[in-house]
Amino acid sequence: MANEPVTMFKQRMGIFVDVQNMFYSAKALHQSKIDYSKLLQEVVENRELIRAVAYAVHKPDVDQSGFTDALKRLGYEIKTKELRLRPDGTAKGDWDMGIAIDTIAIAPKLDTIVLVSGDGDFVPLVEMLKAHGCRVEVVSFRKSTAVELVEASTKYTAIEESMLFKEKKFVKNDTNS
């Protein structure tokens, strides 16, 4: 039938954010924080966002409720875990396994997985997801991203200044030098 509407395929995508990795990279490289609203707009473009998950590590002495509430309002699902203090005084708190498990679980329902991290530990995950038919895009700060992760990704996007906002407490005050 000539008058039937043509249905356009819209790429289904999921975004998985390694919050700690991005926080420390933004702070160290740009004395900034990521504008997660702009990040979402830039990454999603005209695709269908199925799921956006932000993985954060909660430090007992830091109130992150304002940050996590803001992410929820933007449409992110928040997953948190407590920072674990080891008997030797070191701390452990990352979401690598959680991110891997979640992306593998949802991969059959997505065309593209966007990993917002520069952590080279994700290279085997990226390769496995691609082998199962997913596009895997990596979004991160170029200077703090493993070369192998960039090479393994289907597409790499460097976080630009337009996706950041300067945090006054990170900027050194020249009058106090």
pLDDT in tens, 113-158: 999 999 999 999 999 999 999 999 999 999 999 999 999 999 999 9
**Distance in angstroms (rounded) separating the CA atoms of residues 118 and 19:** 11
Q: Which residue is listed with tokens 């496995």?
A: 128
Tokens of 129: 């997801």
Q: Which residue is listed with tokens 């945090």?
A: 167
- The domain segmentation of the chain, as residue ranges, is 12-83+91-171
Whether 174 has a pLDDT exceeding 50, the answer reads no
Per-residue pLDDT of 63-119, as tens digits, reads 889 999 999 999 999 999 988 877 887 777 889 999 999 999 999 999 999 999 999
Q: What's the pTM?
A: 0.86
CATH for 12-83+91-171, among 3.30.559.10, 3.40.50.300, 3.40.30.10, 3.40.50.1010? 3.40.50.1010
Per-residue pLDDT of 7-40, as tens digits, reads 567 899 999 999 999 998 999 998 999 999 999 9
Tokens of 152: 């393994």
